[in-house]
Each structure stands twice: as C-alpha cells, then as structure tokens.
Structure 1
Amino acid sequence: MNVVVFDLETTGLSPERDGIVEIGAVRIVDGQVQEHLKYETLVRPTTPDGQTLMIPWRAEQVHGISNAMVRAAPTIAEVLPEFIEYVNGWPVVAHNIGFDGGFMRANAQRYGLTWAPASEHCTVQLSRRAFPKERAHNLTVLADRLGLNFAPGGRHRSFGDVQVTAQAYLRLMELIGVRA
C-alpha cells in the first residue's frame, strides 16, 4: 500500500481555536519509506481573518517552535493547498489521526478546500491491536516497544515524529498480519 504519513505541531488542542505551526510528511511507496519525497514546513499560525496567533509558552515547551521561528513562515492559507496536493488523495497515516485529521478538516473547511484522503489510518489504533494488553500507546512508548529511535531533537517536531511513525506503521502492519 502507498500512504502518506503526516504529523502536525499546533498552538493547542482545538482545531477551531488553535493553529498549525508545522507540518511534516513522508510517503511510503510499495512498503518503503521514501524520505527523499518528504514534505516539511513551518507555518505562521493565523486566525481565519489573517491575524497572527501567538504560540503559547506551554505549546512551545512541547515542540520547541517559537514565535520567532514562524514569524517569516507561510500561513496555513498558503501552505494548505500545497500540502493537499502533496497528499493527492492517497491514504494517510498519523499517530492519533483524530487529532491531526481534525486540524486538517477544520482548516480545509475554513479556507474552502477539501481534505479527502482515500482513507485514514491511526498508529495508536494499530498499536492497540498489536499490543492489546499494554495500556500506553503514545509515540514515545511505541517507539521504545518497537526498538525505534528519534533523531536528535526529532521528538515533537513534525518530521522527526513522522520518521518514527512511518517505521512504526510498517512494523505494526507486519505484527498484525497486514501487508503494508
């Protein structure tokens, strides 16, 4: 299966009130991660009327993305059409797809675009199927469980999380007996 694995970093947890500050993605083609086909950009978060949203201190502590880092970045209105074109209707994978997919749907609707991947797959749900007796399924725990490592500074940055999520997806599909 060919899929796009993606991850977002945001200013908070609400797709209606908070903004996207980073998008990272990579394609898996014929079961192989294609890092040369990556998508990665910082995003200057804005309100629907174009006003810049500030990145709260608490969010910055999670992902390390500061207001200064996104000051000259394109807005989601500029980035979203390009990212939707990158996805090109392929199935998508994310760790907690409800979160990332919710932000994509809300932003697409806000800007008159359509977020319509062929299907959405969640590595949290796959982890629950592969490890039904385990309680924790966050990406750090899953990476440890599968023997995967984040690149230095990669955890909670979109592309660093995508690299691990892509490898986790392939291993989880193998563990549950589905050819990726």
Structure 2
Amino acid sequence: MNVVVFDLETTGLSPERDGIVEIGAVRIVDGQVDETQRYETLVRPTTADGGTMLIPWRAEQVHGISNDMVRASPTITEVLPEFLEFVNGWPVVAHNIGFDAGFMRANAARAGLNWNPQAELCTVQLSRRAFPKERAHNLTVLAERLGLNFAPGGRHRSFGDVQVTAQAYLRLMERLRGA
C-alpha cells in the first residue's frame, strides 16, 4: 500500500490550544520508503487568532525546537496547503495517529481546509496487535523491539521520528501478514 508517514512536534497536547512547530513526512511507495518524496518544515506557532505563540520550556525540552529556531519560519496557515498537497488524500500513518491527526484536523478547520486522507493508520495499534503480550508501545520501545535506530539527534524531531515510524510500519505489516 502507498502511504504517507508523518509526525508533528507541538507546543503542547491540545489541538485546540497548542500549535504545531514542525512537520515531517515521507512517502512509502510500493512497499518501499522513498526519501526523495519527503516533506519537512519548521512552523512558527500562532494562536487561533494569528497572534504569536511561544514554545513552552517543557515542550522545548522534549523536541529541542526553540522560539529562535522558528522565528523566521512560516505559520501553519502558510504551510498547511502545501502539506495537504503532499499528502494528496493518500492514507496516512503516524505513531499515535489520534494525536497527530487531531492537530491536523483542528488546524485545517481553522484555515478553512479539509484534512481528508483515505485512511488513518496507527503504528501504536499495529504494535499492540503484533505484540499483544507487551505493555509498552511507545516509539522508542517499538524501535528497540524491531531493531531500528534513530539517527543521531533524530528522536523527537519530526523527520527522525518519521524515518523510524516508516520502517516500523513496514515491519509491523510484514509481521502481521505472517501471523
């Protein structure tokens, strides 16, 4: 199946109150990750009325993205049409899809756009099916379980997480087909 694997970094956990600070995505075409078909951008977070939103210290500690890093970046309303064109209605995959898709839905609605991929697939749910006796299914644990490694500095950055999520998706699908 052809899919777009994507990941967001945000200022917090609420799609209604928090902003997106980074988007990373890559396409899987004919069962192969195609890194020539990738999308990656920092995003300057804004409030619902377009005002300045600062990245809280706690969020910066997670992903390492600072206010200085996004100061000259485009806003989500500038980035979203381009990202939606990249997705192009394809099925999307994310680790904990509810979180990422929730942010995409909320931001698309505020911008008068539609978030309408063919399907939303979750590697957390696939991991639970593939490893039903395991309790932990976060991306770090899943990567270790599947023998995958993050690029240096890649964990909790959108494209670094996307690279691992894409490989995890392929391995989980292979494992589940074989079951």
TM-score (norm 1): 0.98
Question: In the alignment, which residue of structure 2 is the partner of 1:122?
Answer: 122
Q: CA deviation at 1:8?
A: 0.1
Which stretch of the first structure deviates more once superposed, 47-56 or 91-100?
A: 47-56
**1:143 alignment partner AA:** A
1:49-64 correspondence runs (5 A): 49-64=49-64
Question: In the alignment, which residue of structure 2 is the partner of 1:24?
Answer: 24
TM-score (norm 2): 0.99
Deviation string, structure 1 residues 137-162 (Cα, Å, up to 9, x no partner): 00000000000000000000000000
**2:107 alignment partner AA:** N
Q: Which residues of structure 2 form unaligned runs of 5+? A: none
Question: In the alignment, which residue of structure 2 is the partner of 1:141?
Answer: 141
Question: In the alignment, which residue of structure 1 is the partner of 2:105?
Answer: 105
d(CA) in 1 for partners of 2:52, 2:71: 9
Q: CA deviation at 1:12?
A: 0.0
d(CA) in 1 for partners of 2:111, 2:50: 11
Deviation string, structure 1 residues 20-78 (Cα, Å, up to 9, x no partner): 00000000000000001110000000012211100000000000000000000000000
Deviation string, structure 1 residues 152-173 (Cα, Å, up to 9, x no partner): 0000000000000000000000
d(CA) in 1 for partners of 2:67, 2:130: 39
d(CA) in 2 for partners of 1:52, 1:86: 26
Q: Percent identity?
A: 85
d(CA) in 2 for partners of 1:58, 1:49: 23
d(CA) in 2 for partners of 1:159, 1:52: 25
In angstroms, what is the RMSD of aligned CA positions? 0.6
Secondary structure of 1:41's counterpart equals: strand
**1:109 alignment partner AA:** A
d(CA) in 1 for partners of 2:75, 2:4: 22
Pairs aligned (count): 178
Secondary structure of 1:167's counterpart equals: helix
1:62-81 correspondence runs (5 A): 62-81=62-81
1:86 maps to 2:86: yes
**1:108 alignment partner AA:** A
**1:116 alignment partner AA:** N
d(CA) in 1 for partners of 2:49, 2:128: 40
Q: CA deviation at 1:136?
A: 0.1
d(CA) in 1 for partners of 2:137, 2:82: 31
